[in-house]
Amino acid sequence: MKLFFDFLPVILFFAAYKAFDIYIATATAIVVAGLQVLYQWARHGKPEKMTLWTFVLILVLGGMTLIFRNPDFIKWKPTVINWIIALICLGSLWIGEKNVLERMMGHLAAPPPALWVKLTLATTLFFLFIGALNLYVAFNFPEHIWVDFKLFGVMGLTLAFSFTIAWAVMRHAIEESEEQKPETGD
């Protein structure tokens, strides 16, 4: 459900683009991202950092798209977000006791520390690649191809990569100790 929530601005951007144009789609994404921030604020007292930063980028780059009537600005948004994620992943290898993947998934599994580093580097490279691929598609193909790629290509690649990372981590899943297992009554 969280993944759907995170991709909601992209999904509604796609729907609005198919029904109207890039400018209505951009305005839709701005409104939906803003509503996501408000929802998280009302529900949790503050929005998640990624949701807030995504909204700020959509607001700035989408706003520039609307003001200047130039879709090139909104085409940069996925790249900027992906490259920020890559920088966060890379930086987490040196900042703090645990890298970002270990902080997110460490309660589920206990792979060797070297695997956390390899997976974090792989994640960094993946988001750098996705960001570059977005720019390639955005500026070398017609706008409608980029819109389709933004939803299906980026989401598909991200899901496939996420499942791969989860599989690599979950091979080292933390098992319940015998004392913690519920009795079966046998």
- Tell me, yes or no, whether 81 and 164 share the same domain: yes
Query: pLDDT class for 176, splitting at 50, 70, 90?
Result: very low
Q: Is residue 48 pLDDT above 70, yes or no?
A: yes
Choose among 125, 130, 131: nearest CA to 89: 125
- Tell me, yes or no, whether 157 and 91 share the same domain: yes
Predicted TM-score of the model (pTM): 0.86
Choose among 81, 70, 100, 99: nearest CA to 33: 81
- How large is the average pLDDT for residues 11-22? 97
- Tell me, yes or no, whether 90 and 125 share the same domain: yes
For 148, the token pair is: 């389709």
Query: pLDDT class for 5, splitting at 50, 70, 90?
Result: confident
Residues in the chain: 186
* Per-residue pLDDT, 114: 92
The last residue of one of the domains, among 45, 70, 95, is 70
- Tell me, yes or no, whether 64 and 81 share the same domain: no
Domain encompassing residue 161: 75-174
- Tell me, yes or no, whether 147 and 85 share the same domain: yes
- Tell me, yes or no, whether 82 and 147 share the same domain: yes
- How large is the average pLDDT for residues 83-101? 93
Domain count, the chain: 2
Q: Is residue 184 pLDDT above 60, yes or no?
A: no
CB 46 within 8 A of CB 71: no
The last residue of one of the domains, among 48, 70, 92, is 70
Query: pLDDT class for 185, splitting at 50, 70, 90?
Result: low
- How large is the average pLDDT for residues 120-131? 98
